[in-house]
Amino acid sequence: MKILVGYKRVVDYNVRIQVKPDGSGVVTEGVKQSANPFDEIALEEALRLREKGLAADVIVVGIGPADLTPHLRNGLAMGANRAIHVVSAGAVQPLTAARVLLKLVEREQPGLVILGKQAIDDDNNQTGQMLAALWGRPQATFASRVEVSGDVARVTREVDAGLEVLEIDLPAVITTDLRLNEPRFIKLPDIMKAKSKPIETIELAALGVESGDYLRATATAPPPRRQKGVMVKDVPELVAALKAKGLL
Amino acid sequence: MNTILIVAEHRDGKLNPATAKCVSCARVIGGAIRVLVLADRTGAIASEAARLDGVDKVLTVERAENAHALAAVLAPQVAAAARDCTHLLAPSTTFGKDLLPRVAALLGVAQVSDIMAVDGAHAFQRPIYAGNAVLHVEAPADAVVIGSVRVASWPAAATAAQTAPIEALALAVELPTHTRFIELRQGKNDRPDLQSARRVVSGGRGVGSAEHFAIIFKLADRLGAAVGASRAAVDAGYVPSDMQVGQTGKIIAPELYVAIGISGAIQHLTGIKDAGTIVAINKDAEAPIFEVADFGLVGDLFKIVPELEQALG
């Protein structure tokens, strides 16, 4: 079985986001970028399934500009067998990303596609569900446990009401939640090894997918600011302040 | 005129309050508001939805396959029901997040996630970068607008004096069997759910150990609060990762948030920026958490927390 993993590069989660003064977006130039944390979890899960003998090939997919190569090398260093780089000058919206992934799915015929539940830049939480719809296959979103046996998977999902367990026929799409696993660290010898692993490059336009900016971003603004509060000197003063606000 | 269809969220025969929040969002968009109830038994849920102020009609699809909210099963039905609408909304809960993009893809349209404000029938504001920026977007005017509604941003619609009519909807849709519900395991603990709790008490690395976390739990129980933790506390192994509050954990908006021994890394602060009132207790007066706290108290948490717990008794 092949597993296709979405591996997006985003602004690192530790970076303090700055909105550009002209409202045209957030500052990404010169800002540390790394793998979307949920995608690292997706890749880790795929690698664990391969290590259990349940998958043969783990393929990481990135959609983005030419300088995405070092990022995909990280995915290879973590353990993916190969990478596919779909070259696109700008960011793509989820529906386009899903259509791109569908093209790759049709070509690679994976048994599983594992994606992060959302990217921590645009926070859309859409691509996995959209791919599953276009593919006409099951989806198990927000997974915290995945058990594959034969051509079915039993997936535990983190839902607001608790933990929901689904059984899905493969092939299928799974999206990861935080609790699924803890991604491994990349070791130096793996970085060396990754240099000889293949990265295939495909121009987005060559895939023949309908793509576009379905939603037009008109402005990006800073969030409403919290007002700086007050310091209290002791517990009685704190309790009095909370009572005055009707909170106790 | 707009026709806005809202997918009702429900469980155990009861309407989820998130549905009433979608109605508030729909009223700002403006138009005829319909609520779609998909269930194996729709009666009680539909009656509840029909009493929400602003709802013009409730549509029901009663099928045995709709006993559990499986996105793969519900999506083709919702897509069929949405065809003559200008807008389709669902709450941005795990239910709506799972379902709505699947519907959007079936209809071949984009989705606006987490609507926090409405500027027009096709213009919306939504948070990006975990709420560290707000994106203004315009959806195309020639396609159905599909939007998930950020629950923390909207009040629940009130109960109306009148009841909207309820109509059964006949949809000739074939449903897949490739996705099967096995079970729902609900948390056994008596504490409120972290995601929806009105009060949350969180501990950070300053708490020092898993054993010491007991004082956080005690204070939380006194307040009837859910318990959270910073990423540092989770990474240090004091508590499991499902308690993590922050950008890569849970993003929460309680009325009262008490941060104990938490320095306030950006990734934590982004998870609490919508909290009503933030209280910070930390021994380091320079900790960034005090920049966002409404009330800050500098001192030893092992003295302050038990004292606070007693003062509340």
Write out pLDDT tens, residues B114-169.
999 999 999 999 999 988 899 999 999 999 999 999 987 888 899 998 999 999 99
The burial class, CB within 10 Å (0-12 / 13-18 / 19+), for A195 is: exposed
Q: Where are the alpha helices (DSSP H) in B127-273?
A: 214-223, 231-235, 266-269
**For the residues A147-153, what does the mean pLDDT come to?**
97
Is the residue at B81 inside a domain? yes
Same domain (yes/no): B19, B125:
yes
Set of chain B residues whose Cβ sits within 8 Å of the Cβ of A228: 291-292
Q: Check whether A225 has a pLDDT greater than 90.
A: no
CATH of the domain at B270: 3.40.50.1220
Q: What are the helix and strand counts (H, E) for chain A? A: 6, 13
Indicate if ipTM > 0.90.
yes
Minimal CA–CA distance to B111: which of A129, A64, A194? Answer: A129
Same domain (yes/no): B148, B252:
no
Count CB-CB contacts under 10 A for residue A54. 19
**For the residues B229-251, what does the mean pLDDT come to?**
90
Q: Check whether B245 has a pLDDT greater than 80.
A: yes
Is the residue at B278 inside a domain? yes
Same domain (yes/no): B14, B146:
yes
Q: How confident is the model at residue A26 (pLDDT cuts 50, 70, 90)?
A: very high
**For the residues A195-212, what does the mean pLDDT come to?**
92
Range of the domain at B280: 199-312
Same domain (yes/no): B131, B203:
no
Which residue in chain A is spatially nearest to B69 when comparing CA positions?
A164
CATH number of A2-244: 3.40.50.620
Q: How confident is the model at residue B60 (pLDDT cuts 50, 70, 90)?
A: very high
User: What is the distance between the alpha carbons of residues A60 and B27, in angstroms, rounded to a whole number?
Assistant: 43
Minimal CA–CA distance to B265: which of B234, B303, B298? Answer: B234
Which residue in chain A is spatially nearest to B298 when comparing CA positions?
A233
User: What is the distance between the alpha carbons of residues B148 and A248, in angstroms, rounded to a whole number?
Assistant: 33
Q: Do B130 and A123 touch (CB under 8 A)?
A: yes
Q: State which amino acid sits at residue A82.
A: R
Q: State which amino acid sits at residue B161.
A: A
Parallel, antiparallel, or unpaired: how do β-strands B179-185 and A230-231 relate? unpaired
**For the residues A29-33, what does the mean pLDDT come to?**
95
| Beta bridge pairs of residue B37 | B60
For B294, the closest of A126, A229, A235 (CB atoms) is A229
| Beta bridge pairs of residue B111 | B146
Domain boundaries defined on chain A: 2-244
User: Over chain B, what is the mean pLDDT?
Assistant: 94
Same domain (yes/no): B204, B141:
no
Q: What's chain A's Rg over C-alpha atoms?
A: 21
Looking at B168, B188, B223, the residue that finishes a domain is B168
Same domain (yes/no): B133, B81:
yes
Same domain (yes/no): B17, B124:
yes
CATH of the domain at B155: 3.40.50.620
| Beta bridge pairs of residue A222 | none
Q: Check whether B188 has a pLDDT greater than 70.
A: no
Which residue in chain B is spatially nearest to A171 when comparing CA positions?
B178
Of A161 and B260, more confident:
B260
Q: State which amino acid sits at residue B147.
A: G
pLDDT tens digits for A81-133?
999 999 998 889 999 999 999 999 999 999 999 999 999 999 999 999 999 99
Q: What is the pLDDT of residue B274?
A: 84
Percent of chain A with pLDDT over 90: 88
Set of chain B residues whose Cβ sits within 8 Å of the Cβ of A209: none
Minimal CA–CA distance to B236: which of B213, B259, B267? Answer: B213
What does DSSP assign to residue A218?
A: E
Q: Which residue of B19, B93, B113, B128 is the best one to mutate when testing the A interface, meaning the one whose CB has the most A CBs within 10 A?
A: B128
Q: What is the pLDDT of residue B192?
A: 85
Give the number of domains in chain B. 2
